[in-house]
Amino acid sequence: MIDEQKIIGLLQAKALGCLDAGDNRDLQEFIDGGHLFPWDEFGKFQNVAALLPLALQLEIPDAELKDRVALKLIKLSEQLRVKKILEEDKFEVEEELDENVDEFTNIQEPFVDPPIEIDTETPVVEENLVYQLNSEETTFNLDEINLPGIDGGEVADLNLQEDLTIESPFETLIDEAQIEYPQVEEVEIKEVLEKPEIPKTVKPELLVSEADKVSKPIEEFEDQSKQVDWTKKSVAEKMFKAIEQDFDSLKSHYEKSERKTTRGLLFAYIIIAVLLAMLIFSVFKLSSDINTLNNEVKDIKKKVSSTLYDGQKSKPDHDFFS
Amino acid sequence: MDTDLTDIELIQRITNRDSKALENLYDRYSPVLYTLVKRIAVDKETSEEILADIFVIIWQKSSMFDINTGNLYSWLINLSRNKTLDFIRRQKGLITDEYNEEYENIVILPNISTIIPSNDLSKTFSSREKIYSAVHNLTEAQQYVLSLAYYDGLTESEIAEKLNIPLLTVKSKIRVALNTVKEILAKEDFQ
């Protein structure tokens, strides 16, 4: 039986996340055992524990970090998309293979992969990809991203420029990052133990209003607007790199299956050539056998007729006197 | 996007794959989360890497947040603490378990009590000075033990071993410290 008082004494440590393994097990057993657990009290301690970081001197991350988060999300969604395309492609090929196997089940010759991969690969690169890029399941709005400062001509040969109307989560990300956070000096975080001194540069009230998006006069940010353009371009380049990587992976997949198909075709040609040679050989063999047999028949006929003639010749008087 | 949206409205939109809502959440929470992460990880680059990972987790796992708790603030703080401590321990080779979906759901995503006072960032920011004074009203020993437990991620036994003091003393200090902060904040009508 677990002591209820002991459990109550563990709530603080549990909320702080510093409970020993043994105590944690006891607590879990208590909860699993259907006892009345003071969730209300525990929730309050969890809330207090979560407030502790607010006693630290606040630091604001670099504005570039926002771009990195956005880029990370875009890459992640692209990876998922490419993975999905490849999986669908693999599924289609397997289905077609199954159909072909059914058609040729009576043939005993070795099965050669039909060259279907080329037929399925081409639309994956051109049409299916476009379709995929337009799907609603995309994350972080890659479909609607407008690449700032980049001409559509650069992607003309990808057949994607119409579909990739890139609106850019970054554009706003960067602008707001520049506007929302005033240039606060980065302050070293000291130990909690150090003497309290609420930073004068970052007032809580100010931060609240920052969090709620303070609109500042545009003149204050004239210099920053240049930075924005620069960042936009770099983000666009990064994004292009991400897209290029995806295309590279598709391309390598396409080349791989093309090689596989060529190998299959070559194998099929060899088998056909061998079969043809065997057929020609057997035709010649058959005709020579027929000729031999014909000659033998002729010989036998000759022998039989000469034997009969000799017999009649040796007994001429026999018939006369009989 | 409407920046007056509540935390709960934001997380609901994120769950519905609204990237603008995630951006908004980033604007709102990145300072406090970054402060916490950097306090634990210390290194700036590592902290930035972890913070980026945290927002990826938020994007992917926002549906795991129980909206009924009404306390996104605590969920995000706990998520950030768990992720940072895990990251640091992996860097030090203290954790060798495979980091996969299941691990993330069990270890990194926080288990918040369903009965927790509702809270959001604007409310906590407005009471920041009260929280600050409540924490700094604790004795130095209490603050130190709290710091070891919360930011360094040590268990009670590890703290006792580190400070070479009895385990019961550590347990008592943690209990008293958190109770004191809770009571001070309750007096201020914060909870």
Tell whether B132 and B62 lie within a shared domain: no
- Whether B114 sits inside 8 A of A50 (CB atoms) is no
Could you give the count of Cα atoms lying within 13 Å of A282 in the half-sphere of its Cβ? 6
Q: How confident is residue B1, by pLDDT bands cut at 50, 70 and 90?
A: low
* Maximum average pLDDT range among A84-88, A234-238, A243-247, B149-153: B149-153
The per-residue pLDDT for B76 is 96
* Token duo for residue A84: 């999905």
Looking at the structure of chain B, the number of domains it has is: 2
Indicate the length of chain A as a whole number: 322
A54 neighbors B185 (Cβ within 8 angstroms) = no
Tell whether B146 and B65 lie within a shared domain: no
Q: Which residues of A touch B38 (CB under 8 A)?
A: 59, 189
Give the end of a domain, one of B119, B147, B182. Answer: B119
Q: How confident is residue A1, by pLDDT bands cut at 50, 70 and 90?
A: low
| Neighbour count for residue A192 (Cβ, 10 Å) | 21
The CA distance from A77 to B91, in Å, is: 26
Tell whether B83 and B49 lie within a shared domain: yes
| Chain A residue closest in CA terms to B136 | A196
Average pLDDT over residues A73-98: 81
Tell whether B79 and B45 lie within a shared domain: yes
Window A:193-222, CB contacts with B under 8 Å = 193, 196, 198, 204-205, 207-208, 210-213
Q: Which of A61, A176, A177 sits opposite B34 (nearest CB)?
A: A61
The CA distance from A207 to B156, in Å, is: 34
Tell whether B114 and B144 lie within a shared domain: no
Q: Calculate the CA B109 to chain-centre distance.
A: 11
A316 pLDDT exceeds 80? no
Q: What ipTM does this complex have?
A: 0.93
Window B:130-169, CB contacts with A under 8 Å = 131-136, 140, 143-144, 146-147, 149-151, 153-157, 159
Tell whether B7 and B57 lie within a shared domain: yes
A314 pLDDT exceeds 80? no
Q: Closest by alpha carbon to A71, among A177, A181, A137, A169?
A: A169
Q: Which range marks the domain in which residue B5 is found?
A: 1-119
- Whether A212 sits inside 8 A of B122 (CB atoms) is yes
Q: What is the CATH number of the domain that holds B110?
A: 1.10.1740.10
Q: What is the CATH number of the domain that holds B140?
A: 1.10.10.10
pLDDT tens-digit series, residues B100-135: 999 999 999 998 888 888 777 888 888 889 999 999
Please check whether residue A285 touches B, CB under 8 A. no
Please check whether residue B83 touches A, CB under 8 A. no
Give the end of a domain, one of B119, B144, B169. Answer: B119
Please check whether residue B90 touches A, CB under 8 A. no
Tell whether B11 and B105 lie within a shared domain: yes
Tell whether B66 and B109 lie within a shared domain: yes
From B1's Cα to the closest Cα of chain A, the distance in A is 11
Please check whether residue A79 touches B, CB under 8 A. no
The per-residue pLDDT for A118 is 34
Give the end of a domain, one of B69, B99, B119. Answer: B119
B44 neighbors B38 (Cβ within 8 angstroms) = yes
B119 SS3 class: strand
The per-residue pLDDT for A46 is 94
A45 pLDDT exceeds 80? yes
Average pLDDT over residues A73-79: 87
Q: How confident is residue A148, by pLDDT bands cut at 50, 70 and 90?
A: very low
Taking one residue from A and the other from B, the number of pairs with CB-CB distance under 8 angstroms is 215
The per-residue pLDDT for A196 is 44
- Whether A208 sits inside 8 A of B126 (CB atoms) is yes
Average pLDDT over residues A68-75: 90
Average pLDDT over residues B76-102: 95
Q: Which residues of B touch A180 (CB under 8 A)?
A: 27
A2 pLDDT exceeds 60? yes
Tell whether B105 and B141 lie within a shared domain: no
| Chain B residue closest in CA terms to A14 | B155
Average pLDDT over residues B159-186: 95
The CA distance from B120 to A93, in Å, is: 51
Tell whether B13 and B49 lie within a shared domain: yes
A15 neighbors A42 (Cβ within 8 angstroms) = yes
More confident residue, A14 or A187: A14
Flag the least confident range among A20-34, A77-91, B8-22. A77-91
Tell whether B112 and B140 lie within a shared domain: no
Tell whether B50 and B115 lie within a shared domain: yes
Amino acid (1-letter code) at residue A98: D
* Token duo for residue B45: 């680059």
A322 pLDDT exceeds 70? no
